[in-house]
Structure formats: structure tokens, C-alpha cells
Homo-oligomer: A and B are copies of this chain.
Amino acid sequence: MRGLMQDWPLTLPHVLHRAEQLFGHKRIVTATATGETTTTVADLAVRVRRLATALDRLGVPADGRVATFCWNTARHLELYLAAPCTGRVLHTLNIRLFPEQLVYVANHAEDDVVFVDRSLLPLFSSLREQLTTVRHVVVIDDGADAPVPDDVLDYEELLAGVDPYEGRFVIDDENRAAAMCYSSGTTGSPKGVVYSHRSTVLHSLITTTADALALAERDVLLPVVPMFHANAWGLPYGALLAGSSIVFPGPNMTPAAILGMVGRHRVTVTAGVPTIWMGALPLLNQFELSSLRSVICGGSAVPRALSEGFRAAIGLPILHAWGMTETSPVGTVSGARSQFDEADDDARADARARQGWPTPLVELRLVDPDTGEPRAWDDAATGEVQAAGPWCAAGYYGGEGTGQFTPDGWLRTGDVASIDPSGSVQLVDRTKDLVKSGGEWISSVQLENAIMAHPKVAEAAVIGVPHERWSERPLACVVVKPGESLTADEVLEHLVPLVPHWWLPDAVEFIDAVPKTSVGKFSKRTLRERFADYRLPDRQGAGQA
């Protein structure tokens, strides 16, 4: 027996129509190279409707890929709406990818048209010749002074030359593609995640739920996380659905600029990766930040000290969320639930530093990555986190990377974690970064954190290198702070009270810097290549019994 409810598809036109109808008066501010511009949702919606007509005029196919190469701006938000509301597919290019990756990604996605912020045009122009499917490039004036080639179209002229699309946008099939993001990944080529209208609407809705991010009409959102990183974690769509005002930071992503905007615009919610909040921490007492109710952090684990630093400075700990491009990205959200109401500050801080609980509609399981056997949720057993839910990927564009999905359709996240009995996730490592020593795992992340706690260490990365008896053993690659000196024995002595004895690295190498990926994460792949033929010294007693 079927239900008798309306067959009402979950599509992005609803988000646009709702914003037009209910929130036309709300402000959208964008920082530019020279100042700030302010518009309203009503004015933005008219521009979206012009852009819809303009995409037709450009001959962008019915499901053509509309690529963006842009900062976080109101113009970028126009593209976020016009592309999917007309049935096309938004493709946010990550401006920080290496050039060869950018070319690969744009060609792989078969981008038809690319919209580029003027300040990014020089970078983009250097790649353009290698783009095989792009028919049009459109430049958006962001206040920057950069030369514009003759064959590049002007965004404002494009919009001025057409009439706004009238009436309701209609997407019949909620499973139609709405947007694609390439997962930058640390192995192999980037892979394309294709969000549907349904997944995007449901994920946007989750950002408005009380225990997730609780976006509300009275919020003023400042998304620091780039709109080319998993669509700014879905926050722009969530804000439109809730009716929040939005403040876009534009190209100036320095901590001081961001904190200044928080004070000036009474921002209530802001979100970014740990790096930005680490930069902001020493500046917090120089700004008026009393409007803030939530500082969201994701992208990688939030150091407990960072969150506690925020709490000490402004009375507000960081809200940690976990996910990845393949999970749209919100998968879990941390915080301190009612079970910690009687706990002391320390226990609450520990709870907040975990990755937290899955949101509604997301299910997680913990499995042995080799056998697929389930692991207990006892806060001790570790395993790979696998995820299911309506905004979790089922595959990649072009059918690549099938190994990342289980036969029963769950996503292998590649993250190793333990889960406590209440369902709170604690990340341990990436599966591929674990050091597999004698059938047991050593967490490279925990070793690195322990080494980086040494006052003379600037950075440290730990990788597994081949070992005859133990299969793999840890090698510590350490960067010493400028002006300091340190020996391998000093590093090991420092570690003795901090980690199990059999975790002690078999060798310590001092390097100039830990190599980084295009998005600023440690590139252990590069380190592993560099130390592929490394021969460990024959250290007595280092391995486990």
C-alpha cells in the first residue's frame, strides 16, 4: 500500500523560491579587493533569473557543466542557484589544486563554461589552452585589477543583455545531478562526486537542525570555508533555506579580515578549517566578537587546545564537524550532549574534541578494513568508518574508484576511528596512513601529535616503512623549529611516557619541511615515495613482543 502524499520532489528551485518569497529583505554582504558590497536576497534572485536566461543564450546544454573559479562571493552564490535550478550541473573548481590537477578535473568533468573571478584570471588563463571542452569563459569583476583577454565574456554584460526568467523553475527528478565536486584525495587522480538535488536539499536541511549547525533566520553566516571545498559544507544553501543573512569574505581570507567582518556585521555563525582558527586565536581579544554563537570547524581534526583557547578568549568553544566531499560533507557533529551536564570542564572539552555523533539520516558502522567484520562501539576497538545516507556518495563520475564502496553500497571513508557506546566518533588515522606492525596498528596521527608536543619541534609526520619481521615500522620525519637543535634520541626519550613502547619509531629523520598537498594537508604519499628504499637501523627492543 502506497502513501497518498504529494509527489513533491526535493529540488533546489524550492530553496530559491522560498528565499525569494520569505527572505527577500535579508542582506548579503561581500568583501571585495576595495571594500564591501551589499545586496538583498530579492535583488540576488533577480540576477539568478537573468543568469538562467544567460546560460540558455550561451548555449550551455541541458545538463552542461557550469564551472566556477571563484572566491566566496554573492556572485558565486548566483551561480550556485542558476546552474542547478536550470537543470545544469554546478562544478566548483578548487583554485588551490595544482595546475595539472585543475586541467585534469575540468576536462574530466567536461566543463562547458567557466566563470572566473577577475583576480583569479591570470592563474586561470595559464591553464586555458589545455582545457578541451570549455566553450566560454566569463569574468566576474571582483574589484581586482587584472588584464582580461579579448575572448573572455563579461558577467555583468551577460546579465544586462537578457530578461530574467519568469515563474517557477521546475526539476522533475530529484535525483538529477545538481553539482559536482572533485575529491582532492591524497592518492591517485581527483575523483568526481556528483550531488543530486535530493542530496543537496536534505543536506541543507540538516544544517538547520538544532543539534547539527542550527542555522536559523536570525543568524548571520560568514562561511570562511571556500565555496570550492565541498560547496562550503552546504552552508550557503542552508542559509538560504533558513533565511539567514550571509557575509562573504571574498578574496581576503586573513584571520584579521575575517574577525573584522564578524564584528562589523554582527556575525553569529562562522565556519572554516583549523588553520584559519589557529591564525585567529591570538587575535581574538582585539575584536568585538560578542555576536558569535557558533564557530564551526572541520576539514581535519580540531586540536583540543584550539577549541579551549577559543573558550578561554570568547567563552565559546569550537563546534567540530566531520565529513568529506563524499559525505556532502556533514557526517557527524560534536559538542557536549546532556550526558555531560554533570561532567567537569575537562571531560566536556574531551567530548567536544571528538568528531561527535552522526546527524539524522546518516548511519555509520565500524569495520575491520581487511575482513569487513564489525567492530564494537566500546571506545577501544578501532576500525574503518563506513557511512550510509542520502547525501553519501554511491560512486564517482566516470565509474572510477569503485573500491571505495562496499558491495552493499556503503562508503568506505578511509578514516580509522573508535566509537564510544553513545555513538561518538574518535578519529585515529587514515587507513592508508596506519603503520601495520606485526598485525597491529600504530596510529601515525597520534605519534605525530606526541612528537609535535615537543617544544623544539615545528612539524612531524610519521610513515610506515617496510620491515622484515614486523612488516612495517614507523619512521618519524621531524622538522626542528628555526634556531633549535634536536637529536633522534631526544625525540625518542620525549615519546617514552607518551605512547606504548612498541610504537616508538625505529628511526627519526630530520627534514626541512613536511610536504603538503594542494589543500594544505600533510602529503604522506610524497614522504613515502622519498623514503621508499629506506633501510631501518636494527634497533633492539623496538618492535612489539
A residues bordering B, Cβ < 8 Å? 1-8, 10, 14, 17-18, 21-22, 25, 63, 89, 173, 175-178, 193-199, 201, 205-206, 208-211, 214-218, 241-243, 328, 337-339, 341, 357-358, 360-361, 363, 377, 388-397, 409-411, 422-423
Q: Which of B5, B8, B178, B390 contacts A6 (CB 8 A)?
A: B390
User: What residues of B have a CB within 8 angstroms of the CB of A198 in the complex?
Assistant: 3, 5
Q: Can you list 30 residue pairs at the A/B interface with Cβ under 8 Å?
A: A2-B177, A3-B175, A3-B176, A3-B178, A3-B194, A4-B395, A5-B390, A5-B391, A5-B392, A5-B394, A6-B390, A8-B361, A8-B388, A8-B389, A8-B390, A14-B363, A18-B358, A22-B422, A25-B339, A205-B205, A205-B206, A205-B360, A208-B211, A209-B210, A210-B210, A211-B216, A211-B243, A214-B214, A218-B338, A218-B341
Distance in angstroms from A65 CB to nearest chain B CB is 9
User: What residues of B have a CB within 8 angstroms of the CB of A209 in the complex?
Assistant: 205, 208-210, 242
A1-B176, A3-B197, A18-B360 given; name 19 further pairs at CB < 8 Å. Answer: A1-B63, A1-B177, A1-B194, A3-B178, A5-B175, A5-B194, A5-B195, A5-B328, A6-B392, A6-B394, A6-B411, A8-B361, A8-B389, A21-B363, A21-B423, A201-B361, A205-B206, A218-B337, A218-B341
Distance in angstroms from A496 CB to nearest chain B CB is 38
B360 touching A2 by the CB < 8 A rule?
Answer: no
Q: Which of B173, B215, B361, B422 contacts A210 (CB 8 A)?
A: B215
Given contacts A361-B14, A390-B10, contact A217 B337 (CB under 8 A): yes
A4 touching B205 by the CB < 8 A rule?
Answer: no
User: What residues of B have a CB within 8 angstroms of the CB of A63 in the complex?
Assistant: 1
A397 touching B216 by the CB < 8 A rule?
Answer: no
B423 touching A6 by the CB < 8 A rule?
Answer: no
User: What residues of B have a CB within 8 angstroms of the CB of A357 in the complex?
Assistant: 22
User: What residues of B have a CB within 8 angstroms of the CB of A194 in the complex?
Assistant: 1-5
- Complex CA–CA separation, A25 to B377 (angstroms): 15
Distance in angstroms from A413 CB to nearest chain B CB is 13
Distance in angstroms from A234 CB to nearest chain B CB is 13
**Which residue of chain B has the shortest Cβ distance to A411 in the bound complex?**
B6
